[in-house]
Structure 1
């Protein structure tokens, strides 16, 4: 159930379908989870500043059931920061990233929870 959310002050036009599909594929591979469970959401045109300027910036939130942790998050951050720089032009010193590891019983899907569906 990986969910990646990007809030950015970039205009909507910069967030192409290829950016979304690229994020989805990357997150799926990074977390070793089926892409059919991955959700990406980019919120462009946000009123944001970072360091007192309105140059391109973002905050990224990655939520998953498992596959997150101290060492893994370093690897995930490196990949996501590189993607954001290459595809959206947001440098790694203009972003924060937040990781959230959820218990399967706290995430609903198909009218129940992932714990009920998959026992994890």
Structure 2
């Protein structure tokens, strides 16, 4: 049950429901997770700065159970996600930052319990 938090200073009008679906599909494929388990939030039009510049940028946070716990895995995830974002948004790689967070099943609640019991 991955959680994707996409933050950008690009205008909100730049994003559609189609973008959210494509982002979800891309990250699901990169992580090897089913699309129906994805949780995605897109926050646009934010005041942001990366590397000392307020030029167009993206910060993406990926939180998931069992697939973001090694450098080798995250290197593979990054390659796929960066390819999508640079193509879709026409941003250079140095204007995109991704954070990976490993979740444990007991840290994710669903259906009145936690994932450990589902």
Q: 1:15·1:88 contact (CA, 8 Å) conserved in 2?
A: no
TM-score by length of 1: 0.90
Q: 1:81·1:91 contact (CA, 8 Å) conserved in 2?
A: no
> 1:30-81 CA deviation, whole Å, 9 max, x = no partner?
2222211101111100001223332111111000001122111001111111
Which runs of 5 or more residues in structure 1 are unaligned? Answer: none
Establish whether residue 6 from structure 1 lines up as the match of residue 6 from structure 2. Answer: yes
What is the match of residue 73 of structure 1?
74
What is the match of residue 112 of structure 1?
113
Q: How many residues align?
A: 117
What is the CA-CA distance between 1:92 and the residue it aligns to?
A: 0.9
Establish whether residue 102 from structure 1 lines up as the match of residue 98 from structure 2. Answer: no
Establish whether residue 91 from structure 1 lines up as the match of residue 92 from structure 2. Answer: yes
TM-score by length of 2: 0.92
> 1:64-110 CA deviation, whole Å, 9 max, x = no partner?
00112211100111111111111112221012111001110111011
